[in-house]
Amino acid sequence: MGYASLDSSLSFPDNNLPPNKKSILITDTLSASGNFLIHHFIVNQIKSDKHVILVGFSQIFNHYLTIGRKLGVNLTLANQKGLLSFIDGLTSLYSQTDLFSKFNSTVTATTTTTTNNQTSVLTCDSLSDSPISKESLHNFYKIIKQIIETRHSSIDDSRVCLIFDDLSVLIYSGFSVRDILEFVKACRMMIEKYNGSLVMLVHADEDITQSSLDDELDQEIFLKSLIYQSEYLLSVRGLGSGFSKDVSGEITIARGPRNQDKWFRPSTLHYKILDNNVQFFVKGFSQGVL
Amino acid sequence: MSSFKKRVQTSQTKLPQGTRLSPYNGQLLISTGVPSLDDILCVLLIKEDRHTEYAKLLLKYFLVQGIVSENHVLFSTLEEEDSKNFMMGLPWLVNENDDNNDDDENITPESEEKMIIAWRYKGLKKFESSVKNKSNIQNKILNDTIGTKSQQNIEKPFCSTFDLTKSIPQNIILENKLMTLVNLNEKNDEIIENFNPYNTLLNTIRKVIEENHFSSLSKPSLNVERNVLRIGIHSIASPSWQSKSSHDLFVFLHALRGLLRFSFGAAVITIPAYLYTSSSSETSSFVRRIEHMCDAVVEVESFAGSPANTNAIYSATYHGLFYVHKLPTLNSLVPSSAKLSVLSGGGGNNLGFKLRRKKFTIETFHLPPEGGINERRVPEKDQTNKSKKKDDKNKNKSGIGVSGSGCGTIPGRKVDPYDF
C-alpha cells in the first residue's frame, strides 16, 4: 500500500481507496511540497487494480515512473494494462511548448495509447490561437471524459481516481478563476457519476492578506472555493520552528465543510521523507527525536 | 534527459561534455562553475541581491563553465544594451603557474604546532568550512592519458577553477560558434504592439534546441555527439521587460520547464525579487508563484547596504548570506543534492558567501568567536589599556576561515569523534 503510516491515519474504509464520490484537496507550500501525497494515492489505486487518471501539469511521466518504482509499482506496466492514463499538461497545454508534433510522425489523437514516451498528448487541433482561454479547458475536459467513458463501460464500482498534480499552474498561467472552477466542477460531476474520487493539489502559501490586486484576489477565491467543495483536506506545511533534519514537515488531515463521515478522525502529524518511503508520526515521536 | 537514463545502461553512449552522473541516482549533473553548487539539469532561479551584483557573478560562473566545457551557451538580458558586453566580462581559467596565494588560504603550519594545550585535536582534520575544488587544472589534464581516445578528446574537469581577475579572451567570445546571444530590445523607433519578450525568447530557445539536437526526443546522427545547452537569463522580470500581463512570465517558465524536461539543458535565471516585495522581507505573491514554477530557488543577500549587517563582526569574513529555498526533486522524493552537498549538511546549515579577490566561495556560515580573536579575555589591570581593547575589536583581523582546532560542536562539522 502507499505509505503505511498514512493509510492508518487516514483510515479510509474499503482497502485504503478514497471513498466514493468524494474529493480530496491537498495544499502545500514552497518549503514543504505536497508531491509525495500524490504518489501515495497513485500507489494505492494501482495496487488495488483500480484506474488512475493522472494529469501532470508540473512534472513529466518519468518523474512518477521513477518514484513509483521505488514505492513498488510499475507505472509502465500499469499504463499498458490500462490502469494508468497520464495526461501531459507540462508540454502539451499550449502550442508554444508542444514538442510532440515535430518529433512524432504519428500524432496520436487518442489518449490512452502509448507513444514513444508513454504519455498521452493533446493534439494541436485542440489548442486555439489564444491558448489561455476557456476552449483549452473545455478541450481538456473532453479528453478526460473520453478516457473515462472508453475505459469504464459500466458505471458501477469503477472507483476511478482523477488526480490533478498542481492545479495552481492553471491559475498562475492566467486562466480565469471562473473557467477553472467550472472545469473542476465538471470533472467532479463526472467523477461522481462514475463512483470515483478526485484528488487535487494546490499551492497555498501566498501572502494574500495584504493584497488588493486582482491576481491575489483570484487566488483567494480559487482556494476557498476548492476548500468548500472538498470533503477531505490535507494541508502540508513546513515546521513552524524552522528546518529540521528529522522532520520534513507537518501535515494536517482535516474535514472538509461537506464532510459528514462519522468514522473520520482529523489529526495533525509530522512526517519525514525518505528515499523510498514517507514516515508519518505523532508530533514528538519521530525516531530521530526519541 | 529521462530517456537518456535508460540509454546509459548500454555502455555505448558517451556522456555529453561537461556532465557527469550523480552517484546516488544516476541523474545527469552539470556544474555551475562554483565548486559548492552542482546542479541537476533543471531550472534554477536566483533571487538577486540589492545594490550589489553577486547574483550576476554566479550567472557568469555558470556561463563561463559552459564555454570551457564546450557546451552550447545561450544568454539573454535586457539590462545591458548589448549582451556581448556581459560576455566580455566573464572570468577565465586559473593559470597553473600562478601562485595560489589567496587571502586566507595560507594555512600556516605554525598553527598546528601551537596546539600545546589542545594536543588531542592535532590529529583531526582541519575544519572544512568550504568545499575544496578537487578538479585538476586544465593544463595538467594534458598529461593524463587514461580514458582519452585522442589528443583532442581530452576529458575536461567537471568543474574548472576560475580566476576573477582574469577576463575571458576576446577571441573566444567572437569566434565561439556555440554561443547564442538573444537580443530582446525592440528595434529602434519601432513600437511593436503586443511585443512580448518572453514569447520571443521562448521561440528562440525552441529553435536552438531543435537545430542543435538538444532534445532527448530526437535521435542524433551517429557522428554528432550530444551536447548540453546552458541557458542564462539575467534580471528577468526587471522593469525593462515589458509585457502585457503578469501571467506572461509564468507561462514562459512553465513552457521552459516543459522544454527542458525533454532536452539536455539547464537554465539559470536571476530575478530582482526585491523589487516586488510589498512589505519588509516578505516574498510577494508574484515571486512566490514564480518560485513554484522553478525547480530550484536560491537567494543571495548581501550585507552591503544594510547598516545592521555591515557593522557586524561577521561582515569582515562574509559578504552576504546564501539561502536555499527549494531544492530540485526530480525523479525522487528526496532532493538529491541534500545528500551530495557536504556544505549544507542536509539543509541544516546556514550558508554565507564571500568574494575573494580571485574567486567566489560559498561556505557554512558560523559566527566568529565572541569578542574576536585579538581581544584579551582577561581584562588588564591597567585602566589606560581599555581604549586599546576597543581598537582591537574594531580591527578584527580574524583568520576565521582557517580556524583549525575546533572545540566542541561547530555547526556544519561533519566528523567529530569527540562529540557525544
Helix (H, G, I), strand (E, B) or coil at B111: helix
A261-265, B7-11, B193-197, B299-303: segment of lowest average pLDDT: B7-11
List, for residues B143-201, the tens digit of each pLDDT value.
333 333 333 344 566 777 788 888 888 887 777 777 888 877 765 455 566 667 888 88
What is the band of A218 on the pLDDT scale with cuts at 50, 70, 90?
confident
Section A13-18 average pLDDT: 78
Check residue B120 and give its pLDDT: 73
Check residue A212 and give its pLDDT: 55
| Residue B146 included in any domain | no
A72-81, B3-12, B30-39, B42-51: segment of lowest average pLDDT: B3-12
What is the band of B135 on the pLDDT scale with cuts at 50, 70, 90?
very low
Interface list for B 272-301 with A (CB within 8 A): 278-279, 282-286, 288-289, 291-293, 297
Section B272-284 average pLDDT: 76
Instruction: Look over chain A and give the mean of its residue pLDDT values, rounded to a whole number.
Output: 79
| Residue B386 included in any domain | no
| Chain A residues lying within 8 Å of B208, measured CB to CB | none
Give the closest-approach CA distance of A216 to chain B in angstroms.
7
Interface touch A39/B325, C-beta < 8 Å: no
Q: Which residue has the higher pLDDT, A184 or B224?
A: A184
Whether the pLDDT of residue B61 is over 90: the answer is: no
Q: Which residue has the higher pLDDT, A86 or B185?
A: A86
Whether the pLDDT of residue A141 is over 60: the answer is: yes
Helix (H, G, I), strand (E, B) or coil at B290: helix
Under 8 Å CB-to-CB from B153, ≥6 apart: which residues? none
Check residue A133 and give its pLDDT: 75
Task: Specify the fold of A4-12+20-93+131-282.
Answer: Rossmann fold (3.40.50)
Interface list for B 311-350 with A (CB within 8 A): 325-326, 329-334, 345-348
| Residue B376 included in any domain | no
Check residue A200 and give its pLDDT: 94
pTM: 0.78
Check residue B399 and give its pLDDT: 34
What is the band of B96 on the pLDDT scale with cuts at 50, 70, 90?
low
Out of B117-126, B154-163, B234-243, B409-418, give the one with best mean pLDDT. B234-243
Chain B contact probe: residue of A40, A91, A216 with most B CBs at under 10 A: A91
Whether the pLDDT of residue A116 is over 60: the answer is: no
Section A39-50 average pLDDT: 90
Whether the pLDDT of residue A77 is over 50: the answer is: yes
Section A259-276 average pLDDT: 86
Q: Which residue has the higher pLDDT, A69 or B334?
A: A69
Check residue B144 and give its pLDDT: 36
Out of A233-237, B136-140, B154-158, B388-392, give the one with best mean pLDDT. A233-237
Check residue A232 and give its pLDDT: 92
Ordered DSSP codes for chain A: ---HHHHHHH--TTTTPPPTT-EEEEEE-SSS--HHHHHHHHHHHHHTT--EEEEESSS-HHHHHHHHHHHT--HHHHHHHTSEEEEEHHHHSSGGG--HHHH-SS---SSSS--TTS-B---GGG--SSSSSHHHHHHHHHHHHHHHHHH-SS-TT---EEEEE-THHHHHTT--HHHHHHHHHHHHHHHHHTT-EEEEEEE-----TT--SHHHHHHHHHHHHHHHH-SEEEEEE--TT---SS--EEEEEEE-TT---SS---EEEEEEE-SS-EEEEETT--TTT-
Interface touch A91/B258, C-beta < 8 Å: yes
Interface touch A243/B292, C-beta < 8 Å: no
Section B350-365 average pLDDT: 82
| Chain B residues lying within 8 Å of A93, measured CB to CB | 254
Check residue B343 and give its pLDDT: 58
Whether the pLDDT of residue B211 is over 90: the answer is: no
Whether the pLDDT of residue B281 is over 80: the answer is: no
Check residue B116 and give its pLDDT: 73
Whether the pLDDT of residue B88 is over 60: the answer is: yes
List, for residues B304-327, the tens digit of each pLDDT value.
877 777 777 777 788 888 888 888
The residues spanned by each domain of chain A are 4-12+20-93+131-282
| Lookup: cell for B331 | 525523479
Interface touch A97/B246, C-beta < 8 Å: no
Host domain of residue B307: 28-95+157-184+194-364
Domain CATH code at residue B84: 3.40.50.300
CA nearest B205: which of B231, B184, B223?
A: B231
Check residue A24 and give its pLDDT: 93
Q: Determine which helix (DSSP H) or strand (DSSP E) holds B110, and give its type and residue range.
A: helix B110-113
What is the band of B408 on the pLDDT scale with cuts at 50, 70, 90?
very low
Whether the pLDDT of residue A27 is over 90: the answer is: yes
Out of A231-235, B99-103, B219-223, B349-353, give the one with best mean pLDDT. A231-235
CB of B313 closer than 8 Å to CB of B370: no
What is the band of B115 on the pLDDT scale with cuts at 50, 70, 90?
low
Section B17-31 average pLDDT: 66
| Residue B223 included in any domain | yes
Respond yes or no on whether ipTM tops 0.95. no
| Residue B23 included in any domain | no
Domain count, chain B: 1
**Does B200 touch chain A if contact means CB atoms closer than 8 Å?**
no
| Residue B307 included in any domain | yes
| Residue B145 included in any domain | no
Check residue B140 and give its pLDDT: 37
| Residue B259 included in any domain | yes
Give the closest-approach CA distance of A120 to chain B in angstroms.
15
Check residue B342 and give its pLDDT: 57
Whether the pLDDT of residue B375 is over 70: the answer is: no
Check residue A132 and give its pLDDT: 67
